[in-house]
Amino acid sequence: MSVEELTRELGITSVGVRRHMQALERDGLVATVLERRPKGRPTMIYRVTPDADAYFPKGYDRLATALLGLIAEMDGPAKVSALFRLRRDHLIEETAPRLRGMPLEERVQFVAGLLSADGYMAEVERLDERTFVLRALNCAISRVAQKYQQACLCELELLQGLLGVQVERRQHLVQGDSHCSYVITAAPSGAESADETERPESTVSSLS
């Protein structure tokens, strides 16, 4: 849109429009393009960039929930659980080699970074040299998780599969808490295998 069009739409002055557009352009959210028109001088047009796409409403959660519902209707609920497990296994297979050899604290921070990149707003608190708390302040798949608890179970199993140590969920957003939190406890000194990032065979514990 041009400055004139934005001025009419927003009800502010052209100076105000340009000030806002300059800030958005500085942040990489809009770009200017010189557009030639049949009459008059070329006009500067503002267009949103791909980086601005995340700020627009999305219906991915509704689409995912609807598709999972159709899969359950066609092939039964067990197929939905199988899909979540398959996704968990693929993520572990893809990511675990990158964590191999890292100290536990580095692995926890790395996994938190992966979660944040997916929209979970993860943070890590170190309680002592063997214990960490991983908090996910946002659930990127909240609508899916509210209907399909398999998503939360596989998320817990994913964390243990990547970290290779005991992981306990202490808070659960889907059950009414303000966020999800996980207590991660290292094995006693000398008890961890040399390749501790391989997926353990033990079950994942949950306090929720």
Cα 171 from Cα 197, distance rounded (Å): 24
Q: What is the pLDDT at residue 159?
A: 96
Diameter over CA atoms, the chain: 79
Long-range contacts of 20-25 (CB under 8 A, 24+ apart): 21/46, 24/52
Q: What is the pLDDT at residue 201?
A: 37
Q: What tens-digit pLDDT sequence spans the chain (208 residues)?
A: 777 888 888 888 888 888 888 888 888 888 888 777 667 677 778 888 888 877 777 778 889 999 999 999 999 999 999 999 999 999 999 999 999 999 999 999 999 999 999 989 999 999 998 999 999 999 989 889 999 999 999 999 999 999 999 999 999 998 989 999 999 999 876 554 444 444 433 334 333 3
Residue 131: count of CB within 10 angstroms of its CB = 14
Domain with CATH 3.90.1520 in the chain: 60-206
CATH architecture of 3-55: Orthogonal Bundle (1.10)
Residue type, 15: V
Q: Which of 199, 121, 144 is nearest to 167 (CA)?
A: 199
What does CATH list as the number for 60-206? 3.90.1520
Q: What is the pLDDT at residue 189?
A: 64
Residue type, 106: E
Q: Which of 204, 208, 205, 202 is nearest to 174 (CA)?
A: 208
Both tokens assigned to 96:
């675990």
pTM, two decimal places: 0.68
- Helix residue ranges per DSSP H, 76-137: 77-99, 104-117
Q: Do residues 129 and 152 touch, judged by C-beta distance below 8 A?
A: no
Kindly provide the b/e burial profile for residues 12-45, where b requires at least 16 CB atoms within 10 angstroms of the residue's own CB: eeeeebbeebeebeeeebbeeeeeeeeeeeeeee
pLDDT in tens, 8-41: 888 888 888 888 888 888 888 888 887 776 676 7
Domain with CATH 1.10.10.10 in the chain: 3-55
The helix (H) or strand (E) run that includes residue 136 is strand 131-136
